[in-house]
Structure 1
Amino acid sequence: MPKPPAAEVEAGGRVVRVSSPDRVIYEATDRTPEVTKLMVAEYFASVDDGLMRALRDRPTALERWTSGVRPGMKLATGPQDKDADAFYQKRVPKGAPDYVETVQVTFPSGRTADEICPTEIAVPVWCAHMGTLVFHPWPVRRDDVDHPDELRIDLDPQPGTTFADAVRVAGVARELLEELGITGYPKTSGNRGVHIFVRIKPEWEFTDLRHAAIGFGRELARRDGGVTVDWWKEERGERIFVDYNQNNRDRTIASAYSLRPLPGAPVSTPVTWEELAGITDPAEYNLFTVPDRVRDGDPWATIDDTAYSLEPLLRLWEELPGGELNFPPDYPKMPGEPPRVQPSKKNALNWEDDGVTRRE
């Protein structure tokens, strides 16, 4: 059977070719029709303003689901996942059109890569042609890739907790930010969590950004017993985990207006604080409903108006007890980091009370 002809999508004055436009990316559910590859490309074009506010001039990794989203499909998270159905693309794909610009980034390993750096809406639309559903921008701009301009607070529900718990904790987070003189911008994660973004002055290193997130998380946990910054899952309990490590170099969060690889084509959707408090089902924000929302404007339209200092959050890091916390397992051993051993697997004969290895 011959391949169906490619389609074309108008995006910011460019015409972007989309191959296999009828390929089903999301199957129909009892709430939403099926979604084709062409519909994904058209969706990204329809949320131009908000999506580019999230991506413009940022090195961006692509989460590519080239065969669509089906139950049981797996996303590769490392070289061990050779049979995965989807993957992260951190280097610009071969054959990219000339309007797809790049910027070089350095990973924690010291290796470098030229990542896509979106400068216009035609770029995300072309990425849809390549099977991209989720955009993972760095919290930096292309003119200074070593100094973040964005703090990301990831409120991650643990087993036994719900989206409603994440919304409650987000309300406490809002109060804390306001006490510190900072305005945060919330969005749904597209699943069960809540993300809060804060624009900051690009004057600090990634280690400072991470420490600011830890300090904020600790104060949040002090105010609400349903919050934790414990890295080891066995210690988190039924609480909302503030994933401070999302503020490390080369750690990213799904951008505003990204789709998520879940039934119904949900969208990570910017909302007002008042809207967030009233949401009971985040799946209502999806490919079919979000374009109508943005016609009335983007709730994050003012996010770039003010860049805040990290100093108030770094004071929390310095003043609250606890010290350094664990880094992700693929990171090199970092200064001051606790031992990377699950608490339940520590041998009491080999560890001091403070977790420092005995020298015998």
Structure 2
Amino acid sequence: MKKRFMMLVSSVVAAGTLLAACGEGNNEDTTPVNNDANGGNEITENEENNNNDGNNEATGDGEGFSSKMVTDTGGVDDRSFNESAWAGLQMFGDDYPEAEVEYIQSNDASDYAPNLNRLARDGTDITFAIGFLMEDDIRTVAQQNEDQNFAIVDTVVMEDDETISNIANITFAEHEGSFLVGAVAAMHSETDHVGFIGGVESDLIKKFESGFKAGVKYVDPDMEVTVQYAQDFNDASRGQQIADTMYGNGVDIIYHAAGGTGNGLFTEAIDRARNGENVWAIGVDQDQALTEGEWDEGNVILTSMVKRVDQAVYQVSEDTMNGNFPGGEVLEFGLEDDGVGIAETRDNVSDEAIEAVEEYEAMILNGEIEVPQTDDEYEEFESSL
């Protein structure tokens, strides 16, 4: 298995600006596709005219190159993971205006395979599966379309203990970034009781949970951390219900790694803030304090753990266009290359906490702090404090 660390693109644009056009293409020739509940068989006129050989030679402005993505069930406007990936493709389309960028939205897990097959059939130069839940489907589709290039975010696709040559595997050190926001939570909690809401319990989300708990306990080993999983990434009402229970039981800061389910956390925090309660929420994937909509009226987001899915998608698209498709490689984006970290919006974070974050980041990078990723590693970490 090959593994490499990649430097991210240097330009950093505010999430609100990047996402203003979400759900729309970059140019008149680009039409995002929103599938119906059955996976969707509607083909736009633009798609019918695509070159289907899958081996287009792109020019310097991207002409003849296509980069497209399949969302998970959270949708492209989830204000989190999918939205960040689409923002990355939009950035790529802005910088290479002749390139074709699109997304297909999955309304159900049964849409994954048809959507991936659809882009393979169209001859897409690089097809992204956004989310680890598509692991089995992309494995099957990639093996059936060996001349097509694929990439998946948040997992490593294996077959017989080997990576697959036409799949690039994009991963992140979520545990490292989660440690930092855990430390921020511990330094701001007034009740000494914080919470974590996970989406679907899995190895990936355990990285968020383990890192967060480790950051909290590193600051204060006696602090209480309540954890609950919604077992869904797209159920805001369930997220609000869990947040309501946690806040009601004395938690004053909650971190989520739950996609669209986490939107319910912000709704609950705003409702309680309106009633004079001093509660906070911590966002994930993007700087969620910058997202527009019903959260604007409530200043309840303490910080966010930023995970640069947008830049990763951009870079893999650009590399592939330039003839350097990282097939079979495991690409990890972590603290050392700004792949994860705390959000730039820090109005609600104390100077003391910001200084601590900088110190802890240095300690993680030099090996003084080894952040746990699993339950077993967390138990070992906690016992060492």
Higher relative contact order (CA 8 A, sep 6+): 2
TM-score range, shorter chain: under 0.3
TM-score, structure 2 length as denominator?
0.26
**Which one has the bigger helix percentage?**
2
TM-score, structure 1 length as denominator?
0.27
